Amino acid sequence: MATQALPDPDAAWTAVLARDRRADGRFVTGVLTTGIYCRPSCAARHPRRENVRFFASGAEAAAAGLRPCLRCKPDAVARDAAAVDQALRLIEEAESPPSLDDLAARAGYSPFHFHRIFKRATGVTPAAYARARRAKAMTESLATETRVTDAIYEAGYSGPGRFYADAKDRLGMTPSAWRGGGRGETIRWATAETSLGTMLVAATARGICRLSFDEDEASLHRRFPHATVEPGGAAMADLVRRTAAAVEAPDRPHDLPLDVRGTAFQEAVWRELTRIPPGETRTYAQIAAAVGRPAAVRAAGTANGANRVAVLIPCHRVIRGDGTLGGYAYGVERKRRLLDKEARTVGGGASGEHPLSLPRSG
């Protein structure tokens, strides 16, 4: 089994307080006063923080003189972790994605149980993980292969039909556009003045692909050097009006169409951002724990920063573990003003989860 990295102590403690089952197998909680170690999700009464040490494995805790909890049986989770590691290797090495039944049979579990432990460990389902791996391989192949068809087979797809079925959900743009820096794609843009400054909205036929501040048409040409980038004109007036309204009232749900794609981990982080209630904040460590990767605090921060549609996916609601605001692509002052807007209005009207049109795990 691969060695797990010990998570950030703040993220680990957050997972323990939440009794987060997704953290099981990633570390164990050692309680020095009782001499036992537990799963993060153990149902026993929480110890005092100063009496707790975290260990990467039960073996490390045992070496420190602790014994396993008889209630939560933390060592049993090692089998689950080994099964997930084996499944990850099988998915990565297979020419075509193995079925859930095959993965579960290799691990000696029922499909239902294996599906649950895999998602708890990785944050995504086996099918979603396999799609993300093939999509990543496809983008790499598109950058090196001369013909799209060659890239499709090089990435492990059984044929163009299977690739195009996945590409519709995973890549957003067509294969040739992806390979050619937006070649063949039409991106329309417009700007509007808001209380946060000049807002740029850019959209494909599918939805908004960028919402930013202090940017102009030249920035879109740099991002998509071979796309057709053109002013949106009157056709974008309604979309820009609705987007500006969402920026002015970030506490309110919106139904704006989005065209954003990322890795499976990025999409998990972005979905978690949409679940943060207006007027509240989360730390990077809490986001990492919420997507089932408590050790990936830095990666969660990177995924947060990769958000392409400011405000609509509320990355401004994530702060540092010490309570300071941390960074923001468009300046900390804008981040502060967004949070202030939400804090002032959240108690007096609409609130709720911002819908995010990303591919659902399968």
Q: Which residues are catalytic?
A: 38, 315
**CA torsion angle for 252, 335, 345, 15 (degrees, to 10)?**
80
Number of residues in the chain: 362
Q: What CA–CA distance (Å, rounded) separates 352 from 346?
A: 10
User: Edge-to-edge, what's the strand order for the sheet holding 67-68?
Assistant: 52-55, 28-31, 36-38, 67-68
291 within 8 A of 301, measured Cβ to Cβ: no
- Write out the two tokens for 230: 């053109």
Cβ neighbours around 305 below 10 Å, total = 13
Q: What CA–CA distance (Å, rounded) separates 138 from 153?
A: 9
177 within 8 A of 167, measured Cβ to Cβ: no
246 within 8 A of 256, measured Cβ to Cβ: yes
Kindly write down the DSSP assignment for every residue of 55-113, as one continuous string.
ESSHHHHHHTT-EE-TTT-GGGHHHHHHHHHHHHHHHHH-SSPPPHHHHHHHHTS-HHH
211 within 8 A of 330, measured Cβ to Cβ: no
Q: Would you put residue 199 in left (φ > 0), alpha (ψ -120 to 50) or beta?
A: beta
Q: What CA–CA distance (Å, rounded) separates 69 from 320?
A: 33
